[in-house]
Amino acid sequence: MKKNAVYPGTFDPITNGHISIIERGAKLFDHLIILVAIRNEKDTLFSLEERTEMVKCAVSRLKNVSVEPFKSLLAEYMKEHHIKFVLRGLRAVSDFDYELQMALINNELDHEICAVFLAAQKEYIFLSSTIIREIASYGGDVSKFVPECINNKIIKKIRSKHVHNG
């Protein structure tokens, strides 16, 4: 039987830290589905559609990775698609509480669900989507921290925000 996994997240926007988890996950599993979670649009810089497109562009070279927007409960999605593994990344102790809580509740909802954690690479431990949004909002260069094909999209988005906000 094929070993498939999901990698859920907000990816607002996707960073090289996420990519490092995805590349390693793609080697561990036969197929990895990245689930881009819906969020209140007021709380995200990019819309669900934009986030999904950016992730697609960033992982297009990985043949066993696919990307889907995701609007339901993770445990239900996994049950429906017969997927047992959920991949997550761990940066520091600060990630651990939340990740453990999610792993336990998902397992409570469906005992088949197994969370698999990959440690962040040391060069990405400090990297988060929040930090990227923060640097970019002040006009800082984030090109070192995000996939090449999405850097321009971040610059464009920040500029359009500044135009609208004056």
Residue 128 touches ligand ADP, criterion: CB under 6 A: yes
From the list 20, 88, 129, 157, the catalytic residue is 129
Torsion of CA 115, 121, 126, 128, to 10 degrees: -50
Is 161 tagged catalytic? no
From the list 91, 128, 137, 153, the catalytic residue is 91
Contact 13, 132 (CB under 8 A): yes
3-state secondary structure of 81: coil
Between 31 and 91, CB nearer to ligand ADP: 91
Residue 10 touches ligand ADP, criterion: CB under 6 A: yes
Report the nearest approach of ligand ADP to the CB of residue 61 (Å): 19
Using CB under 6 A as the binding criterion, the count of chain residues that bind ligand ADP stands at 16
- Characterize 123-143 residue by residue with b for buried, 16 or more Cβ atoms within 10 angstroms of its Cβ, and e for exposed: ebeebbbeebbeebeeeeebe
Residue 91 touches ligand ADP, criterion: CB under 6 A: yes
Report the nearest approach of ligand ADP to the CB of residue 43 (Å): 10
Evaluate the CA torsion angle 8, 145, 160, 130 in order and state its sign. positive
Contact 56, 89 (CB under 8 A): no
Residue 129 touches ligand ADP, criterion: CB under 6 A: yes
Residue 120 touches ligand ADP, criterion: CB under 6 A: yes
Binding positions for ligand ADP, rule: CB under 6 A: 9-11, 15, 17-18, 21, 88-89, 91, 95, 120, 124, 127-129
